[in-house]
Structure 1
C-alpha cells in the first residue's frame, strides 16, 4: 500500500500517491490519472507497479476533486476545466520529486497513463524528455489542438488502445503510430481486438474491464518499463 505525499509544483504545494516496492527501491514511474481523478483505481495501478518493482507516483491533477464512477458528467467537467498549464506543472513537479527520491534508482523515469492520463502521457514525454525515457499510454492520446511537439520525445512508447472507443478512435491511434515512426520514434501502438475503452480499469466503471486482456498486457508493459528503466 502506498501513501499520499506532498511535493512542490512550480512553487505551489501539490499532492500525489506514492507506492514503493517491498525491496525499498526501484526505477521510477509517473502514473497519470483517468478523468475521474486520483481515485482508488489509479492508486491500485500504482500499487501494482510497486509490486512489479517500481517506485510509482500518481500526482493529483484535480487537487482533491473527484468524480464518482457514476458521475460521467462531473468527470467530463473536471477534465475540461483542468488548467493545462497547472497539469503540466504538476506532472513536471512530480517528475522532479520522483527523480530525487531516495527510493528511485537510475536517472531515467517512465510514465503510464489511462484515458485522459494516456493523452497526458504523450504530453509529459514531450515536455520532459530529459527524464522520461519510457511511456505506456492506455486508451488515450492527444488529438486536434492538444498535440505536443512529438519531435521532442526521447522515450520509447508502448501504447495500448481499444478497438471500440468513441473517445479515442482506433484509426486515429494507428495514424499517430505511423506519424511517430515516420519521425524516427521508437513507438508501437496496439489496438486490442474486441476491447472497449477502460479495459484495464480495476473499478470497471464502464463495464468494459477485460481480465484476460489485462493478464496479457500487464507483463508486457512492466517488462517494457524494466527494459528501458532498469
Structure 2
C-alpha cells in the first residue's frame, strides 16, 4: 500500500507524548490505550487495542463508531480485532466528550461532524496516521470498518480514494453526494445490510451496486432478509424500546458479517 499524503497535520500532542494509558491490560496479552489527539484545534479521544505478545508488526484496522459517538460498543469491536491478531484503533469523529444518549443529540453530533467532507476526511486521516505510527502496526496494511454512521464514513473514504486495503460497512448508509470514480477506489469493499432496514432502503442498495460497478470497484454486498438496522449491536433492542426506533440486534447476521470480515482481512493481508 502506498503512503497517502494529505494536508492534515497532527499536533505533537497526538503522538507518543500524548498517550494516556487507560486500562492497561485486559488479559495476559491484550492491551489497550486511550489516546487523545488533535485535529484543527479540536481534541478527540480514541482507543487502541492490541495483543502485546504477538511478535512483529501486524495489520491495523480503524473502527468508526455509530451515530451515538465513540462508545463502549466501538471499543469492544477494537478489542475483538486485537484478539483476532490485529492492532485496532476505535477513532472519534465527534470530539472528546461528545457521546449521545438521545437520538436528537446523536443527530446533532452527526450533522456537525459531516457538515463538509474535508472535515470528515481530516478526522479520519488523523486517526489513520496514529494507527500507522503505532509500534505494532505494519503501516502498509490498513483496513477500516464502520457501523451505521461509521459505515457511511468508511465508504466515503473509499470513494475519495483513501489508501486502504479493505473497507467494511455494517448497516451503514449507502447513498452519498460523493460518487466513486473508475480507478479511484483502492480497497476491497464489503457491505453488510439488513433487508428490512428502513434507514437503508433498497434504492440505496441498488444505487451502491451500480455506482461501484461503474467505478470498477471490488464490492461484495450481503443482504440479510428481514433484518433491521443496527443488527450487530446487542444493545439495539433496548434502544429500540426506549426510543421507538426500527432497530434490532440479530445474532446470525452479526456473526455472519463478522466471519465474512475476518475472511476478507485474511485474504487482503496475506497477499
Higher relative contact order (CA 8 A, sep 6+): 1
Q: SS at the partner of 2:138?
A: strand
- Supply the distance in 2 between the matched residues of 1:49 and 1:160 (Cα, whole angstroms): 18
- Supply the distance in 1 between the matched residues of 2:179 and 2:46 (Cα, whole angstroms): 24
Checking the alignment, whether the CA contact within 8 Å between 2:46 and 2:90 is kept in structure 1 is yes
Q: Deviations over 1:72-115 (max 9, x none)?
A: 12111211122433332111011111112111125021000011
Matches within 5 A, 1:63-212: 63=95, 64-68=97-101, 71-82=102-113, 83-84=115-116, 85-105=118-138, 107-127=140-160, 129-130=162-163, 132-145=164-177, 147-151=178-182, 152-204=184-236, 205-206=239-240, 208-212=248-252
Q: Specify the alignment match of 1:28 in structure 2.
A: 60
Report how far residue 141 of structure 1 moved. 3.3
Q: Specify the alignment match of 1:49 in structure 2.
A: 81
1:228 partnered with 2:268: yes
- Supply the distance in 2 between the matched residues of 1:150 and 1:30 (Cα, whole angstroms): 23
Q: Specify the alignment match of 2:9 in structure 1.
A: none
Q: Which has the higher mean CA deviation after the structures are superposed, 16-25 or 98-107?
A: 16-25
1:8–1:78 CA distance, 2 compared to 1 (3 A): closer
1:175–1:148 CA distance, 2 compared to 1 (3 A): closer
Checking the alignment, whether the CA contact within 8 Å between 2:67 and 2:148 is kept in structure 1 is yes
User: With structure 2 as the length reference, what TM-score do the two structures score?
Assistant: 0.76
Q: Specify the alignment match of 2:45 in structure 1.
A: 15
User: With structure 1 as the length reference, what TM-score do the two structures score?
Assistant: 0.89
Q: CA RMSD in A?
A: 2.1
Q: Which has the larger radius of gyration?
A: 2
- Supply the distance in 1 between the matched residues of 2:136 and 2:206 (Cα, whole angstroms): 37
Aligned length: 226
Report how far residue 212 of structure 1 moved. 2.0
Q: SS at the partner of 1:153?
A: coil
Checking the alignment, whether the CA contact within 8 Å between 1:134 and 1:229 is kept in structure 2 is no
Q: SS at the partner of 2:223?
A: strand
Checking the alignment, whether the CA contact within 8 Å between 2:174 and 2:208 is kept in structure 1 is no
Checking the alignment, whether the CA contact within 8 Å between 1:162 and 1:199 is kept in structure 2 is yes
Unaligned stretches of 5+ residues in structure 2: 1-25, 27-31, 241-246
Q: SS at the partner of 2:225?
A: strand
